[in-house]
A and B are shown apart, each in its own frame.
With several copies, the nearest count.
Chain A
Amino acid sequence: MKYVTSTGDESFEIEINGENDLLVNGQRMLIDFRSVVGQSVYSLIVNGKSYEALVQPTEEGLEVLLHGQLFQVSIEDERQRRLRQSTGSTTVRRGEFHLKAPMPGLIVTVHVREGQEVKTGDRMIVLESMKMQNEISSPTDGTVRTLRIKPGDNVDQNQVLLTLG
């Protein structure tokens, strides 16, 4: 199976030919790769080098925490790639995005109103939790479609606060 994997400005063609046999940008690599704590901690030995990282799924793809650096990694396989190229779209259509409460708490401030356009990083909501005022910013550009909370509300973890379209 062939993949095109990218993180930041870097992009790699990775072909997986069996459990431990890779071609990375055309170069063969034999790997010893396994989960070591039975969860999301993985150990990789390749060409004698030993690496350990936390690999976890996110809504965007996968994130890899390696030696104190966080990499947001997106992966496409051949089929997805062909599909994308044939339809000519350069970004995956996203549809609606539901902003959820990252933890339970009290809504202190709501900086946006329905219909308002927001950019990535714009302050949207202040949630008080763990003795702190926590600012929740927009993860994406878009328009506030539905606002489901108001100041003074107590919210549960993962409760949808608002929907971006």
Chain B
Amino acid sequence: MFDKVLIANRGEIAVRIIRACRELGIETVAVFSDVDRESLHVRYANEAYYLGPAPSRDSYLRGDKIIDIALKSKAGAIHPGYGFLAERGDFAQQVEDAGIVFIGPRPSAITAMGDKAVARATVTAAGVPVVPGTEGEGNLSDEEIMQIAPKIGFPLLVKATAGGGGKGMREVSDIEELPPRLNAARSEAEAAFGDGNVYLEKLLTNARHIEFQILADSQGNVIHLAERECSLQRRHQKLLEESPSPFMNESLREEMGQVACKAASAVDYLNAGTIEFLVNEDGKYYFLEMNTRLQVEHPVTEIVTGLDIVKEQIRIARGRKLHATQEDIQLSGWAIECRINAEDPYNNFLPSTGKITQSILPTGPGVRVDTGVYPGFEISPYYDSLISKLICWGETRGEAILRMRRALEEYRILGVKTNIPFHQNIMDSHRFMAGQYDTRFVEERFSMDQTSGKQKEHAEIASIMATVVAHRESQRSSQIVRKSERDTSNWKWIGRWERINR
């Protein structure tokens, strides 16, 4: 049985896994690229080894180097986190071949679920409903696709077979649009995954994205930890998750949970995984895909079930029996997670890079923060823009929302732009409060310019603060520069102030 784990990842998830290992008394090995020497995962691990240059393909995707480091450092297991090598069946196989435990599913299950078309065919065979589309037909030509599309019906989605994170994905609203979108999807998929194969999927409108957390041990026990509501997305990127879902009821939960366990069993699943469904307004649900790894949003499930999913992963990988049965899983209260990204919600969610000069975390009752950054840390353009995950618990959904509101208001990150104001606006949205939202909510029915009763009062306060800042800065700079006259251009004056204050 292993007592040292190499974490083949970076950022908040590497820190999360290191924490779980520490709390189990297991030694940890970090790996790092050129820009991550000072990252928290390197600082918190017992050992740390250099991987390569910043780009992922030269560092965190170098499975060969990572396996070498594991062997050299005598790590008995590798935890892949999410992203990077987490869903690469070939990597999992190489890890096993090197005599190292892969903390995740068997390579065969990763491969089966990794090919979207194979995954759909597999679960269909197991009797699990899937979104109508070209399931299991793989590698279709453009001609075949043009023929099949009208049978599925519009609107539909062209999706990359090897895809993920919205890449190689296009929406098509009628047959005219299909050829150019198909083309775009194929070339994006080719560029991103080296595989231009795509498939079609019916686009469900007013649908919710609901997923079930699965745990499976090596003794064949499979349980689910209920659902996560992930409909709050922008361009197929999740921004906020909650557990339970405001849409769910007990009987649907039980039914979908059983279906999720069945889907996992269909590929002889081991360790933690997630079955994603689309659910329409009538409660009809369709299998979307299986994520054969730890999810970003796992903390909301941890908080309402009381289980530590990463510790469970490690216990399972050590050959232990699940320490909870399905009957033991009881949901307590409500948890919401906001993904805090380095991006500007007022400017098309453009990513923001730079040094975090200050970070004051919200704390207190019911608040959890998972992060890999600290003041002085540089957000680089090489990896994703996730700064932290802010998770709030409440006895009720209402309490969780109110707590999230106060936590967002307390959170201060300086040096980069963040999407905290976006989440603040979501928490104030009446539709969100009522639980009335679907996967199109952010793009179609939400705006950052919502007017509230406080708007006018706040406009006055903002004006006063800006004016006093400008006044004091102009006085200070005139004292420093000893110019008899101020520049007449506002723009230049601000420019000068910026220079002075740099």
The residues of A with any CB-CB pair to B shorter than 8 Å are 1, 3, 5-8, 10, 12, 14, 16, 22, 24, 29, 31-34, 36-46, 48-55, 57-62, 64-71, 73-76, 79-80, 83, 92, 102-105, 129-132, 134-137, 157
Contacts and interface: CB of A to CB of B under 8 A. Distances in A.
Contacts of B37: 32, 34
Given A71-B462, A130-B381, A48 B49 contact: yes
Interface stretch (B218-226, B290-298, B420-428): B420-428
Interface string B363-387: 0000000000011100001111100
A1 to B, nearest CB: 6
B24 interface: no
Interface stretch (B126-134, B198-206, B453-461): B453-461
A75 B466 contact: yes
Contacts of A135: 348
Given A37-B360, A49-B47, A80-B488, A66 B353 contact: no
Contact of B376 (A14, A36, A74): A36
Contacts of A49: 46-47
Nearest to B497: A57
A31 B30 CA distance: 16
A72 to B, nearest CB: 9
A33 B486 CA distance: 24
Contacts of B458: 66-67, 69, 71
A55 B30 contact: no
Interface of A is mostly: strand
A130 B464 contact: no
A44 B49 contact: no
B66 to A, nearest CB: 14
A37 B315 CA distance: 34
Contacts of A157: 353, 381
Taking each of B165, B454, B461, which has the highest tally of chain A beta carbons within 10 Å of its own beta carbon? B461
Contact of B420 (A43, A57, A68, A102): A68
B299 to A, nearest CB: 22
Interface residues of B, number: 68
B490 interface: yes
A64 B494 contact: no
A159 to B, nearest CB: 12
A76 B471 CA distance: 10
Interface of B: 29-30, 37-38, 42-43, 45-49, 72-73, 165, 342, 346, 348, 350-353, 357-358, 360, 374-376, 381-385, 408-409, 412, 414, 420-421, 424-425, 428, 448, 452, 454-456, 458-471, 486, 488-491, 494, 497-498
A68 B428 contact: yes
A48 B350 contact: no
B459 A50 contact: no
B369 to A, nearest CB: 18
Nearest to B489: A92
B428 A131 contact: no
Contacts of A31: 464, 468
Contacts of A1: 471
B491 to A, nearest CB: 6
Contacts of A50: 30, 42-43, 45-48
Contacts of A58: 494
A7 B414 contact: no
A50 B7 CA distance: 14
Contacts of A24: 460, 464
A31 to B, nearest CB: 7
B346 A70 contact: yes
Nearest to B452: A69
The 4 closest A-B pairs by CB, nearest first: A68-B424, A71-B462, A64-B462, A73-B466
A16 B475 CA distance: 12
Contact of A134 (B47, B48, B350, B460): B350
A75 B38 contact: no
A48 B48 contact: yes
A7 B467 contact: no
Contact of A136 (B350, B352, B383, B466): B350
B459 A71 contact: yes
Contacts of A37: 358, 360, 374-376, 412, 414
Contact of A74 (B46, B461, B490): B490
Contact of B412 (A41, A79, A80, A104): A41
Nearest to B351: A130
Taking each of B165, B376, B381, B383, which has the highest tally of chain A beta carbons within 10 Å of its own beta carbon? B381
Nearest to A61: B490
Given A43-B43, A53-B465, A92-B489, 18 more contacts: A7-B463, A14-B464, A14-B467, A33-B468, A36-B43, A37-B412, A39-B357, A41-B358, A41-B414, A48-B47, A55-B469, A57-B497, A67-B458, A68-B424, A70-B448, A79-B486, A103-B352, A157-B353
30 contacts: A3-B470, A5-B464, A16-B471, A22-B464, A22-B468, A29-B464, A33-B465, A34-B37, A36-B43, A37-B375, A38-B376, A39-B357, A43-B42, A53-B462, A57-B498, A61-B494, A64-B462, A66-B458, A67-B424, A68-B409, A69-B458, A71-B459, A71-B466, A73-B462, A80-B488, A92-B489, A131-B165, A132-B351, A135-B348, A137-B348
B180 to A, nearest CB: 14
A55 B350 contact: no
Contact of A66 (B30, B360, B461): B461
Contact of B353 (A45, A69, A76, A104): A104
Contacts of A12: 460, 463-464, 467
Nearest to A106: B381
A129 B351 CA distance: 8
A1 B352 CA distance: 36
A51 B165 CA distance: 36
B318 to A, nearest CB: 23
Contacts of B374: 37
A41 B413 CA distance: 10
B375 A7 contact: no
